[in-house]
A and B are shown apart, each in its own frame.
Chain A
Amino acid sequence: MANVALRHVRKAYPNGFEAIKGIEFEVGDGRFCVLVGPSGCGKSTLLRMVAGLETITSGEIDIGGRVVNQVEPADRDIAMVFQNYALYPHMSVYNNMAYGLRNRGMAKGEIDTRVQEAARVLELSAMLDRKPRQLSGGQRQRVAMGRAIVRQPKVFLFDEPLSNLDAKLRIAMRVEIRKLQRRLSTTSIYVTHDQLEAMTLADILVVMNGGLVEQIGDPLEIYQKPSTTFVAAFIGAPPMNLFSLRDSDIKLPGAGPEAGILGVRPEDLAVGDVTAPDGGIALDLTVEAIERVGAETYVYGLRAQQGGTPAVSAKPGELPPGEILVRIPGQEGPAVGQKIRVAAPREKLHLFTADGRKRVNS
């Protein structure tokens, strides 16, 4: 059991590209830490640095009170689960799990006990003699987990372990991983680009962007109080609506001078013939498109323009300018072309500085 601490960790490649620009956080003993971010944000690189598969340019990585910068992966007392599982194709399931233990010179009896126990937990007992190619994706995933468990390491490292599975299996395995980690209470670091996975698994959520930590904390706290517009747009699906206060006609009484961007989550907008609540906002929309997913309905509305400039300036790839997403429960909803009015109370609004780097309201 151990905690993992990263201090001023940087990674620069020989060609000058700086993948990790100074990262600092600590994962307490037995905690489940999830690194999340868009592709290319450096989350996998960071995990591989903890594993010892990438060198550390500067800074320190500390596992259980020992700085491991110069320690070989095998001696760091970690176990890693890879995205493509990286099972040895020519070895049976049993040998895949036992290989690392044998290399450590562990006694045969002890190896057998550990492998049998892991196989029992992961329901692989009937497949110990099979080769990886005779297994389904989910079973391979479990073997990869088993290979990590038998080591009884200080830290589990997961590199997008579920992204090769189909949607249904992914949810089932997500729950499995969480249960397993709780039972073993082994410190874990998990990399994913799926914000839903991140939200559901994490004790500590680390949102990364461009080689830097954007926000770190409890997942729900991050959801409720994103500290930057990047986090606001990345965490939560569908993403938060972001309006530029400077260019639009939306006036928010009482907003400080530094408030430049207003954010409101789709589920916080209520539809109805209402006036703006005290200090809140009310918007008139023309419904452009409707998505019904069963339990809820997504309404894409275009705001009636008064100033001529687009009111919404979300990140590229998010909503187009001027479009606002409203999420309402159930299957009932307005029809396309209908004019609706939506409103959100003051306490549901998020205010950021104009550059999006800082949260203004508490």
Chain B
Amino acid sequence: MVEDEGIQRYLAHAILWTGIAIVAFPVYLAFVASTQDNAVIANGQMSLLPGGHFLETYYQTIFVGTSGSTREPVGTMMLNSLIMSLLIAVGKIAISIISAYAIVYFRFPFRMTIFWLIFITLMLPVEVRIYPTYKIVADLHLLDSYAGLSLPLIASATATLLFRQFFMTVPDELLEASRIDGAGPFRFFWDTLLPLSRTNMAALFVILFILGWNQYLWPLLITTRDDMQTIQIGIRKMITTTDALTEWPIVMATAVLAMLPPVFVVVVMQKLFVRGLVETEK
């Protein structure tokens, strides 16, 4: 890159810093609010420096919950969200890699029809088919269960297409070499295709985990019990209180906690994620 001289360079940095400040300030504010006393926030006299209630607030948030609308500890909500996101991410990867394997490597009747059927489900996200999906889940008595939370979101055309594209770039000779080496369809999948798909799976996992973590509409519909609600629903419920003051420090602490797992996943898997998107290892 060409190094800019003097003022231009400072200007560029100033713009970048401004951008970072705009993005980061609300996050910072949420953190600060979570360490203050609720009365101070309610008075509108909140300081911009962290207060002294950090341990107290976070302890209450994680293990006790609010005293008002939803008494569920946020620890439970996080666990629910975590289980749901993991089920969605792992389930989607597992199902789509198997269906892509079938579509790419096996010749069976109506292969292309099935491929296009999977393809057109791209046009039918949960929001579109919300009533029938709800009905099915309710009829199967899956309301308020992890299966109900995750199953309808597991089928994924996007991931199937991604794996299909990847499998089609794997040289045919690799399959033929496997056949000569005495590896059947299962061994070829397990010993060759899965290891080669590692980076793709990691990239998908990051995307799908965050997608699952941020689910709002579906969990809102399908969970009624407090101990089954996810953290996204929990935050919303904490804010709306009928006859008491919203406990802002706890709401903000919950928001901060809700941000941590996706950040953790991205940071841990960033290397694999980037490799999965740009590099093909063949």
Contact A90 B187 (CB under 8 A): no
Partner of A82, one of B176, B182, B183: B176
Inter-chain pairs besides A82-B176, A86-B177, 16 sampled, C-beta below 8 Å:
A51-B176, A72-B179, A73-B179, A74-B179, A80-B176, A80-B180, A82-B173, A82-B177, A86-B174, A88-B177, A88-B191, A89-B196, A89-B282, A90-B198, A99-B183, A100-B180
Contacts of A100 in B (CB 8 A): 180-182
CA distance A20 to B191 in the complex (A): 34
Closest-by-CB residue of B relative to A133 is B281
Contact B174 A88 (CB under 8 A): yes
Closest-by-CB residue of B relative to A82 is B173
Min C-beta distance of B188 to chain A, whole Å: 10
Known: A73-B179, A74-B181, A90-B196. Contact between A84 and B173, CB under 8 A? yes
Known: A82-B173, A82-B176. Contact between A99 and B181, CB under 8 A? yes
CA distance A321 to B213 in the complex (A): 75
Contacts of A88 in B (CB 8 A): 174, 177, 191-192
Contact A99 B180 (CB under 8 A): no
Q: Mark B152-196, 1 if CB is under 8 A from A, else 0.
A: 000000000000000000010110110111110001000110011
CA distance A80 to B182 in the complex (A): 12
Closest-by-CB residue of B relative to A148 is B180
Contacts of B180 in A (CB 8 A): 51-53, 73-74, 78-80, 100
Residues of B within 8 A of A (CB): 171, 173-174, 176-177, 179-183, 187, 191-192, 195-196, 198, 281-282
Contact A84 B191 (CB under 8 A): no
Interface membership of A15, Cβ < 8 A:
no
Contact B181 A84 (CB under 8 A): no
Interface membership of A103, Cβ < 8 A:
yes
Contacts of A73 in B (CB 8 A): 176, 179-180
CA distance A168 to B216 in the complex (A): 64
Chain A interface residue bracket vs B? 20 to 34
Min C-beta distance of A110 to chain B, whole Å: 15
Partner of A53, one of B179, B183, B282: B179
Interface membership of A108, Cβ < 8 A:
no
Closest-by-CB residue of B relative to A84 is B173
Contacts of A133 in B (CB 8 A): 281
Contact B176 A89 (CB under 8 A): no
Interface membership of A183, Cβ < 8 A:
no
Contacts of A51 in B (CB 8 A): 176, 180
Contact B173 A86 (CB under 8 A): yes
Contact B181 A89 (CB under 8 A): no
Contact A86 B187 (CB under 8 A): no
Contacts of B179 in A (CB 8 A): 52-53, 72-74
Min C-beta distance of B234 to chain A, whole Å: 42
Within 8 A of B (CB), among A32-49: none
Which 9 pairs of residues, A with B, have the shortest CB-CB distance?
A: A100-B181, A86-B173, A74-B182, A103-B182, A86-B177, A90-B195, A82-B173, A73-B179, A73-B180
Contacts of B191 in A (CB 8 A): 88, 99
Min C-beta distance of A280 to chain B, whole Å: 51
Contacts of B198 in A (CB 8 A): 90
Min C-beta distance of A142 to chain B, whole Å: 16
Closest-by-CB residue of A relative to B194 is A90
Known: A99-B181, A104-B182. Contact between A86 and B176, CB under 8 A? yes
CA distance A74 to B179 in the complex (A): 6
Within 8 A of B (CB), among A46-97: 51-53, 72-75, 78-80, 82-90
CA distance A80 to B196 in the complex (A): 22
Contacts of A74 in B (CB 8 A): 179-183
Contacts of A87 in B (CB 8 A): 177
Closest-by-CB residue of A relative to B177 is A86
CA distance A90 to B196 in the complex (A): 7
Could you say which of B177, B183, B195 has the most chain A C-beta atoms within 10 Å of its C-beta?
B177
Closest-by-CB residue of B relative to A90 is B195
Contact B281 A90 (CB under 8 A): yes
Contacts of A79 in B (CB 8 A): 180
Contacts of A53 in B (CB 8 A): 176, 179-180
CA distance A85 to B176 in the complex (A): 11
A selection of 25 A-B contacts at a CB cut-off of 8 Å is A51-B176, A52-B179, A53-B180, A73-B176, A74-B179, A74-B180, A74-B183, A79-B180, A80-B177, A82-B176, A82-B177, A83-B173, A85-B173, A86-B176, A87-B177, A88-B174, A88-B177, A88-B192, A89-B282, A90-B192, A99-B181, A99-B183, A100-B181, A103-B182, A103-B183
Min C-beta distance of A276 to chain B, whole Å: 55
CA distance A82 to B179 in the complex (A): 13
Min C-beta distance of A94 to chain B, whole Å: 14
CA distance A107 to B77 in the complex (A): 52
CA distance A49 to B176 in the complex (A): 12
Contacts of A147 in B (CB 8 A): 177, 181
Contacts of B195 in A (CB 8 A): 90
Min C-beta distance of B193 to chain A, whole Å: 10
CA distance A257 to B234 in the complex (A): 101
